[in-house]
Every structure is written in structure tokens, then in C-alpha cells.
Chains A and B, each alone.
Chain A
Amino acid sequence: MSSPAHRHPPRPGPLRLALKRLGLLASAAVFAASVHAAPQDGGVLNLIAQPEPPLLMHGVVTHVSTQYVSGKILQGLLTFDTDLKPKPVLARSWTVSPDGLTYTFELQPDVQWHDGKPFTASDVKFSFGTFYPEVDKRIASVFEEYLDNIDASQPHQVVFHLKKPFAPFLSLLGSGLRPIAPEHLYAGTDFRSNPYNLKPVGTGPFKFEEWKRGAYIKLVKNPNYWKKGLPHLDAIVFHVIPDGSSRAAAFERNDVQVLRSGDADYSDLKRLGALPGVESSDKGWELYSGLAYLQFNTRKPPLNNPKVRQAILYALNRPFIVDNIFFGAGKVSPGAFASSSPYHDPQLPQYGYDLAKAKALIAESGVDVGAVRIRLLNGEKGGAWERLAEYTRQALQPLGFKVQVVTSDAATWFQRVSDWDFDLTYNFIFQIGDPYLVNAYLYRTDYILKTSPFANVGGYSNPDVDNLWSKVADTPEGAERTRVYSELEHKLNDDLPVAPIFEMRYPTLFHSQVKNLLQTATSLNEDYESVYLDAPAP
């Protein structure tokens, strides 16, 4: 689609051609770049929201596209820089008491919701005291155990009083998934079916304007944004383009300026990244740290035997998987936690590709692994995942396994994995900083649930591991907590209820006219207040 509203690079005019002939174009471009070093106001940024989000309020739906769109409209208390250090957003500063029991947030003054109502501490208290405990049972159970009360007696100050220390508290409030909900629009309503989930009202730099389902979502500049002079863009349009090749063509034409990881097939990224005027970066995914893993159903023989599970991981050539199946979009995972996480133990023993060791472990286990056929349930996640399933079937044959790949559509996969109706399946999670907040649900006994594939669907239960998870939550940040995490990671590495395969790399491709795109650890889901489109060189 042609988009006259954004700035296309101009076709070479007579002056440009003359300059080129004189060899002056390069110096002219350098001059132009220096002239346009200051951010430019105006223009429309065209993005892709695929798949189309179900709702536009990322407090009630964790859908990846909902976060992408809603992150420009609604804001949280804080965000994280690329080193995972908290940065102020609606909270301009905060302090934590030495005993770890009191978190005091000073809020930005003079902030208004898009409908003109003032943003106050009462909105924050409503969000964490009422809204999130209702829509998110995980946060509800954490708050029930740790949160005593929230004090919002000052209009621009919120104080959280805890019953006992909870180390990942800041991560919980500012993970990018917890925007502040406007109390005046949500209080007393059914939060999940509130009409403002479809036309959100926030405090962010962009306001919702229009959602034409199946086609586009349009956001426009908030002229009353609480940071003066921002945002730079006039509007952001999210196009819904269901076909991967069409998304690549739209990016190639500069009809859309940004391709998120997953928007184009892994095999197409190299070609698109080499186009003139296109940049590629892995930045901006530090908080999410995607982990692709092989989920075992540990209830079923022979997968209930830890030695068999270890043998499987030894038999998988993970560098081959990363380089040849995912075209280099990742790196081999070193353990249960992200390699970038401060809680990952670099001394953790590694499962290198070793077929002889795998066979020895099978022999040691005394299990006839070929006695039953193993179903590898393959969901509809794209071509690379299908190739991975087929590779796994072949890789396990030398050990004597009889693996059958069962492919299903996404909905069927979701139901069957949620109902524990599988032997093996591949899945991935976003780790969101502290492992207690996401990874833990794959291992904790109290999360053996038939609700979603992201619970402990493998049925793994180890009281020692459960105790260690409780301990990391209760232990204040410091050397002892790191030690407990290390002990936990070693246990998980031995039991291996989930086999970490690789850490996913998320290359973002963007046309170089887009500036300030990747600034924080959640870049693409950020509010884009400082993103601007550079004027084309004259």
C-alpha cells in the first residue's frame, strides 16, 4: 500500500544526479546528516500488527500484538533499560526501605488521561489493589502472600507495604505488562469485557483513533502529552498483513518501516537486511529473553526417567538447530535461566552434542525406549518449528526411540498441551527478568494445571525444587539469593523436566529513516515518545 503520509526516499532528481556525477553526493549526505541531527517532528510511522490483536489493553491480554499497540497508549510505573535497570515512566522516582518491606513511588505530576481526567495515586492503587488481582491470578497469588496494603493518601505518592520481602517486586510492577488502568473508566465494571479494552484511554504519547478490523489500527499524537515537545510522530498506523511474503514485500517497498522478528520468515531475513537503507538490530529484547525448550511429559514412560531425558538432550545437536533450522536466529541455551540473567550460573555443566554419552545414559537407565511410540506434538508455529520436529524425530532414532510427529493447528496444539495430551512438544517463553516471574511456572508443583501450555504441563514435581523457588522469592537481592538460584538451576539441570534448546534472537529490521527505535529492554513495545522519522537527504 502506498503511504504518502510517511517520507519515502526521493527518486534522484537532476541536481542529485549531477552531484553524483561530480562525486559530491557523499559529502552532501554527510552535510545533510549534520543539519538534520536534531529530531524531526511529524510524519506517520507504519508498522505491522500481526497477528491482529484481540483487544488493545495489555493489562487484560498478554497477546504480543496487544502489547505492541497498547504500549504506545498506556504506560506503567517504570520500564527497564538494556542492562535491565529500572527507568522512570509514570513513577519519577522510588525508594525501597532497607528491610525490603516498603516501596515508595513518587509519581509524575501534571499527567492527564487522554480524556482529560487527572492521573493520580488512586489510579495506581486501583490498578494493583483491584484490577490486576482480578484479571491475573498469578499476580493475585503473589499479592495475597506478600502484599499488606497500598497507601495512596497523597495524590502523587504511592506506598506499597509488604508482609515480607519479595525480591522481584520492581520487576513485577514494571515488566511492561502492567500498565496503569484508569480507575474512572474501569472501577465497578467487568474488566475483561470493558469497552475501553477496544478503544483504550491511557496517559501515553499516542491516543487511540480508529481500529478497522482486518485492516489497520491508527493512533494519533497526544497533543497534551505530559512530556513537553514529545512525541515527534503525528501518527502510528499498525497494518494487519496476514501473509509473511506480503509483509516482506510491504517492508521492501517501505510501506511499513519496521519488521519485528517473526514478521518475516527466518529464511528471508538475510535478504531483507541487506536491502539499501535497511538496518538490523538484536537490541530491545533484553527483558523478554525468549527461551525455546523441549517439554517432556514426565508422567509417561520412558520420559519419566531423568536419564532418558538427559540422553535426549545429548542427542540433539543444538548448534545445528540454531544455525541450520533457525538460520542463526539464536544461540544454544546454557541452562534453565537466560545466559544474560544475573541468576544464571556460568559453571553449570553443559549438555553438548554427544551421541555416545546419550546411548550410554539410555543403557544406564535400563529402559527399553523403543517399547512405546512417542508422540511429538507439533503446533503451527511456522516452517522452522516443523523442521525442528522432523529433525528431532531423526535425531532420536539412533537411541532406539520411535518418535511420531503429530502436527496440528495452533488451537488444537493449545488444547492438547494444556490437557497434558502429548509426550514431547516444543514451546517457548519470554523470561521477563527474574526467573521467579515466568520460568517458575514450568516447574512448580502448584502449577501442575490444565489451563494453558505455559503452566507445568509436564507434571514435574520435586519438593526440594518447590522449596528453592519459595526461598528465592523470600530472599532479598544479594549474594545469598544468587546462591539459591544457582542451587536451583543445578537441580533443574539434573532433573531436566524441560530441555532448554536455544535462546531466541530477535532481529528487528527497520528502514534507517526511523530513529530512536530501540532504546530500552522492551523497545518495540515501548511508547515511542522519542521515535522520529529522519527527513530524507536533499
Chain B
Amino acid sequence: MSGVWFLGARLGRALLMILGVLVLSFLLVRLAPGDPAQLMAGEAGVDDAQYIAKLRSEMGLDQPLPQQLLHYLGQVAHLDLGYSYRNQAPVWDLLSERLPATLSLMGSAFVISSLFGVALGALAALSRQRRRWLDGLISNGALLLYGTPPFWLAMLLIVLFSVKLDWLPAFGMQTVAADLSGFAWLGDRLRHLVLPCLSLSFLFLALYVHLTRAATLEALQQEHVYTARAKGLAPSRIVFAHVLRNALLPVVTFAGLQLGQLASGALLIEVVYSWPGIGRLMYDALSQRDYSVLLGGFLLISVLVVGFNLLTDLACRLIDPRIGAEGAAR
């Protein structure tokens, strides 16, 4: 019963948060100057006030702002994200076309940064007493990665691995006009993923390293770890069952929080590597004041972030069942 209450409360909070993001982002994009109808007419080379008025009317921009907001919220409640007049396509079609690219980039970067970050962080902490040089190498290396701007690092990787060494592609998600299939197709996609994924991973890898290292060092000082050692448990069992399990709690919480940052980092990486993801779509939508695409993007990202945080809450509860128990007791 307490589990259901926990889940229900978190879900309710998540929905409220998404509604808040939607209203705020709607008002924010409307506050920015720039008229999408005028921009579209300009691209068409049209000096026709009537045409601009017609476009504004079709887009609903001639209505009062509160009415536009209510209309939009009603639309979203019916799972309709609207229509992009500039792209002449429904917003959901545009987003769903780009979603796999962003998810593959964010997903692979998340897996690589968290797995390697946790492993290296734990290794650094465990090496602190006997192999201090290794701890120093990992900690300082992570600090260097953290201090390097991702877009600059991305450019350096392109210059080194694409331009100079010619090992990896410099842009895009696939080789166009190559008619690949099967493993060749998969290999081509993976080759294109390597540099963008690494560029995005490095920043977060550094954060995981430092967080895990600190949490592990703290866990190593706990009394139950001394007890386990005194009982003569195998060192590996002590590390995995008693140290890392406790050390992972802040790391998992952090993983949930960083998804939003990962999405904004993905935007930069998508631009540098011409990765056709959601971030690029939103960047273009912003410059064209394509409100419906922009709001659809905000909504999708907020659903992803809130959803991921929900999963993090559940994961934390699995790791430490005491979390949320006080709520159930009330």
C-alpha cells in the first residue's frame, strides 16, 4: 500500500510540474520579440500585409494571449501538439522523427558516463591508500575533462580523429547514398555515434567520478564496513555489498537530476556534429519563432526529465527502502 501511495504522490507531483513548465514556456516564448508570420512571409519574399494577417490568423496569433494559452492547453490535453506552419507538418511528426537521434545520443552518453564514471570514481577511492598516483591520475583527469567546454572538446576531437587521422566521420548520423544494410548499416551508425557520444559523455563522466569517489570514501569510513572487515569478509564482497551499495545512493539521485543538463548538453553537441536531434530542431524553431515546435520540444523534454526523476525516486527507494516510508506512515 505504501508503495502505491508513494508512486501516486510522485506521479501527481510530476503532472503538476509538467503543467507548470508548459504554462511558463508558453508565456516565455510569447514574451520574446519576433513574429513568425512576418518571418515566414519574409522567407517567401512577400510584401503583402494581407498575407501576413492571414498567416497570423491561421496560427491563432490574432487571439488574446490567455485565449491562446487555454486553446493550447486544451490541445495538449487531447494529445495534439499542434501544427508547424513553417515545416508544413504536425509537431508530433517532427519531434518523433528526431527523437530516436536524441535518445540514442543521450542514452549512450548516459550509459558510458555513468558506468565508467562510477567505476573510475570507485577505483580512485579504493586506490587512495595504496596507489595514490592512480587516485591522483583519475581525479585530476576528471577535473580536466570537467573544466573543458564540451563544444571546444568536440571540435578538437573532430580535428584529431576526423581531419588528421581520418578514423571517424566528422558529422551526421549515417553515410548517405551508401545503401548499407545489416551489420554494415549498424557499424556505420556506431562509427558516427562515437565522437558525439564521447564529447557529451566526458563532462558527465567527470561529475560521476568525483561524486562516486567522495561517496565511496565516506562509505569506507562507516562502522559496518569496519565490522565486515573484522568478520573477515572477502574484500570484493565488502566493496560491492557494503560500500558501493551505500555510495550509489547520491549517484543515482544525481543521475536523475542531470538528465535536464544532458539534454541541454546534447543541443550543443547536436549542432557541432550535425546530429539531427530534438535539440537542433528546437534551436531552428527558436530562430524562426516556430512556437508550436518550440513548445512541443519543451513539453517532450520536461516529460523525459520528470519521468526520469520519477524512475530515480523509485530506484532510490529500491536501494534504500526507508525512503518514502515516513510518507506512508502518515
Cα–Cα distance between A409 and B280 once the two chains are bound (Å): 17
Instruction: Judge if A149 is at the interface, Cβ distance under 8 Å.
Output: no
Cα–Cα distance between A305 and B242 once the two chains are bound (Å): 82
Q: What residues of chain A lie closer than 8 Å to B49, measured between beta carbons?
A: 449-451
Chain B nearest Cβ from A6, distance in angstroms = 8
Interchain Cβ contacts within 8 Å, total number:
173
A229-282 interface (Cβ within 8 A of B): 235, 237, 239-243, 245-246, 249-250, 252-253, 255
Instruction: Judge if A138 is at the interface, Cβ distance under 8 Å.
Output: yes
Cα–Cα distance between A52 and B271 once the two chains are bound (Å): 13
Q: What residues of chain B lie closer than 8 Å to A453, measured between beta carbons?
A: 42
Instruction: Judge if B39 is at the interface, Cβ distance under 8 Å.
Output: yes
Contact residue among B40, B45, B280 (Cβ-Cβ distance under 8 Å from A136) = B45
A412 touches B32 (CB 8 A): yes
A54 touches B86 (CB 8 A): yes
Residue of B nearest to A451 (CB): B47
Instruction: Judge if A408 is at the interface, Cβ distance under 8 Å.
Output: yes
Cα–Cα distance between A242 and B154 once the two chains are bound (Å): 14
Residue of B nearest to A51 (CB): B284
Residue of A nearest to B166 (CB): A253
Instruction: Judge if B41 is at the interface, Cβ distance under 8 Å.
Output: yes
Chain A nearest Cβ from B299, distance in angstroms = 19
Contact residue among A1, A135, A213 (Cβ-Cβ distance under 8 Å from B176) = A1
Binds A, one of B19-27, B156-164, B252-260: B156-164
Chain B nearest Cβ from A270, distance in angstroms = 17
Q: What residues of chain B lie closer than 8 Å to A62, measured between beta carbons?
A: 43-45
Q: What residues of chain A lie closer than 8 Å to B166, measured between beta carbons?
A: 253
Contact string against B for A residues 105-136, beta-carbon threshold 8 Å, 1 for contact and 0 otherwise: 00000000000000000000000000000011
Contact string against A for B residues 240-264, beta-carbon threshold 8 Å, 1 for contact and 0 otherwise: 0000000000000000000000000
Using A216-B176, A451-B48 as known contacts, say yes or no to A252 and B163 having CB atoms under 8 A apart. yes
B44 touches A61 (CB 8 A): yes
Using A213-B276, A450-B49 as known contacts, say yes or no to A411 and B289 having CB atoms under 8 A apart. yes
- What is the total number of residues of chain B having a CB less than 8 Å from a CB of chain A? 56
Q: By CB atoms of chain B within 10 A, which of A1, A135, A245, A408 has the most?
A: A1
A253 touches B45 (CB 8 A): no
Using A54-B87, A60-B44, A414-B39 as known contacts, say yes or no to A243 and B276 having CB atoms under 8 A apart. no
Using A242-B283, A249-B159, A411-B289 as known contacts, say yes or no to A452 and B178 having CB atoms under 8 A apart. no
B170 touches A415 (CB 8 A): no
Residue of B nearest to A52 (CB): B284
Instruction: Judge if A97 is at the interface, Cβ distance under 8 Å.
Output: no
Cα–Cα distance between A44 and B178 once the two chains are bound (Å): 10
Contact string against A for B residues 13-42, beta-carbon threshold 8 Å, 1 for contact and 0 otherwise: 000000000000000000011110011111
Q: By CB atoms of chain B within 10 A, which of A63, A416, A452 has the most?
A: A452
Using A1-B175, A4-B175, A54-B86 as known contacts, say yes or no to A214 and B170 having CB atoms under 8 A apart. no
Residue of A nearest to B188 (CB): A2
Instruction: Judge if B173 is at the interface, Cβ distance under 8 Å.
Output: yes
B43 touches A63 (CB 8 A): yes
Contact string against A for B residues 173-192, beta-carbon threshold 8 Å, 1 for contact and 0 otherwise: 11111100000000000011
Cα–Cα distance between A213 and B97 once the two chains are bound (Å): 8
Binds B, one of A191-199, A327-335, A352-360, A472-480: A191-199
Listed A/B pairs (12) with beta-carbon separation below 8 Å: A5-B177, A46-B176, A52-B284, A54-B40, A212-B276, A214-B276, A255-B170, A410-B287, A414-B34, A414-B42, A418-B38, A455-B47
Known contacts A213-B276, A237-B177, A253-B166; 10 additional CB pairs below 8 A are A1-B171, A5-B178, A54-B43, A60-B44, A137-B48, A245-B158, A246-B155, A410-B287, A418-B38, A453-B42
Closest 5 CB pairs of A and B: A411-B34, A214-B276, A62-B45, A1-B172, A215-B276
